[in-house]
Amino acid sequence: MAVKHWALKKSLWVYHVNTGACNNCDIEVLDLLTPRFDIERFGMILVGSPRHADVLAVTGTCTRQAMPRLQELYRQAAKPVVVLAIGSCAGAQGIFTEAYHMGSPVDETIRAVDPNAIIAYVPGCPPKPEAMIAAVVKAWDVIDTL
C-alpha cells in the first residue's frame, strides 16, 4: 500500500452537493458529524469548496437544472475524487424516474464527464449514517487500486 493511498484513505474531505433532494438525506449526512458517529475519527471533514474535496456526497434526483452544475462541480474537484450517490434518488432517481423535470441519474451524469469516475451507491430513503460509512469503506478498496 503506497503512502498516497494511505493518506487519501485517512483524510477524505467531503463536499456536500444537493441536486434536488428532499432534505432527508442531507439531514442524515449531517448526522455523520454528530458525536454519535463522528466521522472525524476517520479524518473526514466537511469542506466549503469543491477544490478541496476528495468525496462529493451527492444527494437528490439530479434534476435537469442541477445536472450541468453537478458536472461542473465534478470538473472543479481535484482528482482523484470519489462520488457518493446517497439515497434512492441519487442512485436511480427513486420514485421520480418518470417525472418531467429529471435529468440523467447521478452516475450517468458524472460518467458523461469522466467515464472512469469512482462512484459508490448508498441505497435507502434516507440511508442510515452507518450505510454511508460502509460505502466509504467500500470506496477505500477502490482507492487502493488507483
Give the binding site for another protein (CB under 8 A). Answer: 3-4, 6-8, 10-11, 34-35, 38, 40-41, 43, 46-49, 51-52, 54, 76-80
Beta bridge partners of 16: 57
Three-state SS string over 64-118 comes to: CCHHHHHHHHHHHCCCCCEEEEEHHHHHHCHHHCCCCCECCCHHHHHHHHCCCCE
Closer residue to another protein in complex, CB, 11/97: 11
Could you tell me how many residues make up the chain? 146
Closer residue to another protein in complex, CB, 32/89: 32
- The Cβ of residue 131 has, within 10 Å, a number of other Cβ atoms equal to 16
User: How far apart are CB 115 and another protein at their closest, in Å?
Assistant: 18
User: How far apart are CB 116 and another protein at their closest, in Å?
Assistant: 14
Closer residue to another protein in complex, CB, 10/101: 10
Closer residue to another protein in complex, CB, 33/92: 33
User: How far apart are CB 90 and another protein at their closest, in Å?
Assistant: 22
% helix / strand / coil in the chain, to the nearest 5? Answer: 45, 15, 35
User: How far apart are CB 49 and another protein at their closest, in Å?
Assistant: 5
Residue located via cell numbers 470538473: 75
